[in-house]
Amino acid sequence: MTFRPNYPRVWLTFFRNSVLRELSYRGNFVIELITRMFWFVAQLVLFDIIYRHVPTIQDWTREEYFGFMATGMLINGFVEALFMPNCANFSELIRTGNLDFALLKPIDTQFLVSAERINLAMFNQVLFALALLTYSLVSTGAEITPARVITYSLLIVVGVMFFYALMIALASTSIWFGRNQGLYDFWFYITSFARYPQGIYRQSAVGEVLWFGFSFIIPVLLVVTVPSRVILAKVLEPSWQVVFLAPALTLLTLVASRRIFQWSLRNYRSASS
Determine the Cα–Cα distance for residues 226 and 237; give it in Å rounded to an integer. 8
List CB contacts of 116: < 8 A, sequence separation 6 or more: 14, 86, 89
Residue 52 burial (CB count, 10 A) = 9
Read off the amino acid at residue 98: N
Q: Residue 257: is its pLDDT beyond 90? A: yes
225 Cα distance to chain centroid:
14
**Pair type for strands 56-57 and 60-61:** antiparallel
CB 79 within 8 A of CB 114: no
- The DSSP result for 214-234, as a single string, is IIIIS-TTHHHHHHHHHHTTP
CA distances from 167 to 82, 83, 176, 217 (A): 12, 8, 16, 16
Angle at CA of residue 131, ends 19 and 189, nearest 5°: 75
Residue type, 239: S
**Residue 29 pLDDT more than 80?**
no
pLDDT in tens, 173-220: 888 776 666 666 777 777 788 888 888 888 888 888 888 888 888 888
Residue 255: predicted pLDDT: 94
What's the average model confidence in pLDDT over 23-35?
80
Q: Which pLDDT score is estimated for 181?
A: 60
The CA-based diameter of the chain, rounded to the nearest angstrom, is 69
What is the predicted pLDDT for the residue at 179?
Answer: 63
Q: In whole angstroms, give the CA distance from residue 9 to residue 79.
A: 21
* CA dihedral (12, 17, 21, 23) positive or negative: positive
Cα 207 from Cα 176, distance rounded (Å):
34
User: Residue 256's pLDDT band (boundaries 50, 70, 90)?
Assistant: very high
pLDDT, mean of residues 3-27: 85
pLDDT reading at 240 higher than 80: no
CA distance 129 to 205: 33
Name, in order, each residue with C-beta under 8 angstroms of 30's C-beta and a sequence gap of 6 or more: none
Please choose, from the candidates 87, 96, 253, the residue with its C-alpha nearest in 3D space to the C-alpha of residue 170: 87
Phi, psi (degrees; rounded to nearest 5) at 209? -65, -45
Identity of the amino acid at 63: E
What is the pLDDT confidence band of residue 36, given thresholds at 50, 70 and 90? Answer: confident
Given a cut of 90, whether residue 5 has pLDDT beyond it is: no
**Does residue 273 carry a pLDDT above 70?**
no
DSSP code of 236? P
- 167-186 tens-digit pLDDT: 898 888 888 776 666 666 77
Residue 1 pLDDT > 60: no
pLDDT at position 108 over 80: yes
Give the mean pLDDT of 116-138. 90
Mean pLDDT of all residues belonging to the chain: 86
Q: DSSP strand E in the chain: where? A: 56-57, 60-61
**Mean pLDDT on 125-150:** 91
